[in-house]
Amino acid sequence: MNVKLLAYTPDPERTVACAAKLCYAAADIDTVYEGLTPEKTERFLHMLNSLGHESPVEHVSFTFGIEGVSRSLLAQITRHRIASFSVQSQRYVKESAFEFVIPPEIAALPQAAAEFRRAMEEDAAHYERLAGLLQQKHERELLAQGLSPEESAKKAEKMAIEDARFVLPNACATKMICTMNARELRHFFAHRCCSRAQWEIRELATQMLMLAREAAPTLFAQAGPPCLRGACPEGKMSCGRTAEMRERFLGPEVGKK
């Protein structure tokens, strides 16, 4: 898994504080940034958190580059609908000798790992054979329609892999660019950094959170699973490791409290 913070709203915390100031102070657009020192900016952010006033947080966004994750993860992350996704297409990019994600529990068991790799090899072989058979069919048809051999071959390959991709597994690796505003990011972290989240998206969310904190430490200071901010909401489904989670996301001193 490779995760990078590609871009974000410049001076994100001051931008959020500016929006909050306009809500609560007698300011206008030309002067709203005046007097927003780092200390006042931090106070505005803490005030918003204490009031539960989330809308000013939506004015900043963060764009991440993500690769080396599975199509299974893609199905999960796109459930977060207040976000933008650009994903490498299996319709236009041929998946010859595709990379794949192997779950840690499978990787830790030699026999299971060997079985998994055989399955990936078989999928790749089926994909190549299907793509080849379909491409031959499409080429013949396109040549009969009067296209040149070069045009026929190029168009036929795209047509072939569009259908051959149906045999590819959930483990097949993919790449994407994802953009979320800070409010949706905090919601995403609350659900996906939790120990009950699936292991792959939990790792992704944790890496994204650490990158977001570097860019906006106060804005994301309390971001993460809900147990960082109070009692675990999972009830009898709780992992029971609140102290461990607080230490991991907030530091050892907080974890001891």
Distance of CA 134 to the CA centre of its chain: 34
**Residue 59 DSSP one-character state:** G
Residue 142 near residue 155, CB atoms below 8 Å: yes
Residue 61 near residue 177, CB atoms below 8 Å: no
- φ, ψ for residue 73 (rounded to 5)? -65, -40
Task: Choose, from 14, 183, 186, 192, the residue flagged as catalytic.
Answer: 192
The three-state secondary structure class of 163 is helix
Q: 226 burial class (0-12, 13-18, 19+ CB within 10 angstroms)?
A: middle
Is 91 a known active-site residue?
no
Q: In one letter, which amino acid is 234?
A: E
Angle at 240 between CA 254 and CA 72, to 5 degrees: 100
Nearest CA among 61, 64, 92 for reference residue 77: 64
Task: Give the whole-angstrom CA distance, residue 155 versus residue 150.
Answer: 9
Which residues are marked as active site? 192
